[in-house]
């Protein structure tokens, strides 16, 4: 049996294969029946692969679950939008058409690995001498698409799994959402790049925030998996190198939490009541359930949350538990809503978007209706008319990673464009040297791109394929019974907080840049008094060197700590803080202000 595109051809063939590819072909045979039915395929001179979490994980052995409207469909459509824009641009890849092969990862790393084997078929099957039929004739193959590069994936665990197979075949990969520090290892993930910054940068930013606010005793909380554990590990490593921050507890949320698990975590955090600040690298669902458990424990106002970009400015984690989340400081890569994509997506209909094989399912979910007898929703739901319109008949807000999907596609396009200029000077269309794109050569062009992205900021990569760290700092606030995430600062290699703090007894305007941080932190008689003045007590003094480091440190994991060994500093801090019953400081609440 030999895999041949849409079907299996039986010719009593036997394989003369190396051990390297045997297991890959076995998986390809196992999954061949699904792959064409669950992919988007557009022809072109150069084909790019795409990996998107169109569906959530399935339950009880089913690979795929419910549709993900924003993280799946919005992002997928962002790739199609970018491809359309590039193909219409006379100055970018002129006379060369980009095509796509987009697959659904179903938010599961193992399933994504099986699906991504589609991308390497052409490289495995190009040598027909490996296969012979019983009568000596070669089998007939339907030639699979040659994938030049892959856009994706979203989750770091999926990107890690896929990167391991793509590097074997030298296929460059650019992610729009994977942020695990592990992926910065250029010896293991040498064909992987990303247009989002790694979590090591936001871990640095979170350490900067903790130190700028004068906290020295915190707990950490991570979702089990690459994202959460790597993020907390980076935070812990940086805080040790800098010195001056003690980790009270490092707790982990299991991948499959048991009933009562989140209540136990809150109890554990309360065992060190002085460590009120909690650094969270957790997924959206875990954040929601932690806040829910804190609310059940009647702990409003106790915990001071510092949330990573998985919390960001999302509404769903804080819905119906606004008071427990009040004051939370969160971080998010700088991003901008893309107006052109909004116009494009709002104009999508069942009639003009047949290329998206999941769009009918999206239509049903988005408008709460059913499409004919083959629709997925139950028969009691109203029928769709086809005249519904996005944003007019349904809520619509652009998903936060759309900008990065577009930038990832353009990164690949600019790399191909520059490669074409060098290899095919003056040639219209693809010349012989680019008819079979060399992945290693393309990778070098990807790492060298430098252009203004969809948000107007430069898109560049360092030697590890990482994008620069640029973050907005938010605070979740409740004012006059209305809630909002307010931008209170930014981080680009160093922290800049701009806050106007107002209470009944004290009004202070401060910008926590290097110079003001020194002033605020070096005057022990100045305190920020907000909601619980009885808990604001004088903290132990830090060395001048530690204060300077807190205000001006750069995003380098190789940075040296204080002169004393980090273990000694940590031990001394912990002993002091564990015996001091009132060592925490409340969050400053921002009433008005702007980023610098």
Question: Along the chain (596 residues), what's the average pLDDT of each consecutive run of 10 residues?
Answer: 38 40 44 56 96 90 91 97 98 96 93 90 64 74 84 94 95 95 95 95 95 93 92 94 93 93 97 96 94 95 95 91 95 94 98 96 95 66 93 94 97 98 94 91 98 94 96 93 92 82 31 38 34 38 33 32 32 52 49 37
CA distances from 513 to 549, 551, 596 (A): 12, 6, 10
Cis peptide before 184 (omega within 30 of 0): no
Closest to 537 in 3D by CA, of 291, 238, 216: 216
**Residue 500, exposed/middle/buried by CB under 10 A (0-12, 13-18, 19+)?**
middle
Q: What is the spatial distance between Cα 431 and Cα 417, in angstroms, rounded to a whole number? A: 13
DSSP labels, 342-360: HHHHHT--TTT-TT-TTHH
Map tokens 């999926």 to a residue.
158
Closest to 7 in 3D by CA, of 27, 25, 33: 33
Q: Torsions phi, psi of 211, nearest 5?
A: -75, -35
**Residue 276, exposed/middle/buried by CB under 10 A (0-12, 13-18, 19+)?**
buried
User: Reduced to 3 states, what is the DSSP secondary structure of residue 21?
Assistant: helix
Res 577: pLDDT:
58
- Residue 211, Cβ neighbours under 10 Å: how many? 26
DSSP state of 258: P
Res 576: pLDDT:
56
Structure tokens of 328? 């939370």
- Residue 572, Cβ neighbours under 10 Å: how many? 13
What number of CA atoms fall less than 13 Å from residue 516's CA on the CB side? 13
User: pTM of the prediction?
Assistant: 0.75
Res 505: pLDDT:
25
């Amino acid at each position: 049996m030999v895999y041949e595109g849409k079907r299996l051809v039986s010719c009593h063939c036997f394989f003369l294969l190396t051990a390297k590819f045997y297991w890959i072909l076995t998986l390809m045979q196992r999954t061949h029946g699904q792959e064409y039915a669950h992919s988007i395929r557009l022809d072109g001179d150069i084909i790019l692969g795409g990996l998107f979490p169109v569906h959530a994980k399935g339950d009880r052995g089913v690979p795929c679950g419910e549709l993900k409207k924003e993280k799946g469909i919005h992002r997928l459509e962002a790739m199609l939008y970018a491809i359309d824009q590039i193909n219409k641009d006379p100055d970018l890849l002129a006379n060369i058409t980009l095509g796509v092969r987009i697959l659904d990862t179903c938010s599961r790393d193992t399933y994504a690995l099986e699906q991504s084997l589609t991308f390497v078929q052409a490289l495995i099957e190009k040598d027909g001498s490996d296969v012979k039929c019983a009568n000596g004739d070669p089998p007939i193959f339907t030639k699979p698409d040659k994938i030049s590069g892959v856009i994706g994936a979203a989750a770091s665990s999926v990107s890690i799994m896929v990167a391991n197979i793509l590097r074997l075949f030298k296929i460059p990969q650019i992610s729009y959402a994977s942020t695990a520090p592990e992926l910065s290892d250029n010896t293991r993930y040498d064909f992987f790049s990303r247009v989002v910054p790694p979590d090591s940068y936001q871990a640095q930013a979170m350490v900067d925030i903790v130190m700028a606010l004068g906290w020295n005793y915190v707990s950490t909380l991570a979702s089990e998996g690459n994202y959460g554990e790597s993020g907390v590990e980076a935070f812990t490593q940086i805080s040790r190198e800098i010195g001056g921050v003690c980790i009270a507890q490092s707790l982990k949320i299991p991948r499959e939490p048991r009933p009562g698990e989140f209540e136990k975590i809150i109890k554990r955090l309360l065992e060190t009541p002085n460590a009120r600040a909690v650094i969270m690298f957790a997924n959206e669902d875990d954040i929601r359930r932690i806040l829910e458990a804190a609310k059940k424990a009647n702990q409003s106002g106790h915990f001071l949350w510092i949330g990573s970009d998985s919390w960001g400015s999302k509404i769903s984690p804080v819905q119906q538990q606004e008071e427990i989340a009040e004051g939370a400081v969160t971080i998010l890569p700088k991003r901008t809503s893309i107006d052109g994509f909004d116009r494009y997506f709002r104009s999508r209909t069942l009639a003009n978007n047949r290329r998206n094989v999941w769009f009918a399912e999206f239509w049903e979910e988005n408008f709460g209706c059913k499409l004919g007898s083959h629709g997925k929703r139950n028969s009691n739901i109203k029928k769709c008319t086809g005249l519904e319109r996005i944003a007019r008949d349904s809520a619509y807000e652009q998903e936060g990673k759309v900008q990065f999907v577009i930038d990832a596609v353009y990164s690949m396009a600019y790399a191909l464009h520059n490669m074409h200029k060098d290899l095919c000077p003056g040639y219209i269309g693809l010349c012989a040297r680019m008819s079979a794109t060399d992945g290693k050569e393309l990778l070098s062009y990807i790492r060298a791109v430098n252009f203004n992205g969809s948000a107007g900021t430069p898109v560049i990569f360092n030697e590890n394929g990482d994008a620069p760290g640029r973050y907005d700092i938010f605070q979740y606030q409740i004012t006059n019974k209305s809630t909002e995430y307010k931008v209170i600062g930014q981080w680009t290699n160093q922290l800049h907080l701009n806050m106007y703090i107002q209470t009944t007894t004290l009004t202070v305007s401060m910008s926590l840049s290097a110079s003001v941080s020194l002033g605020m932190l070096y005057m022990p008689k100045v305190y920020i008094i907000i909601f619980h003045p009885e808990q604001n007590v004088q903290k132990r003094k830090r060395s001048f060197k530690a204060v300077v480091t807190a205000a001006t440190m750069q995003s380098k994991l190789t940075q040296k700590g204080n002169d004393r060994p980090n273990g000694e500093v940590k031990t001394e801090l912990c002993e002091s803080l564990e015996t001091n019953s009132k060592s925490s400081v409340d969050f400053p609440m921002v009433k008005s202000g702007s980023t610098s």
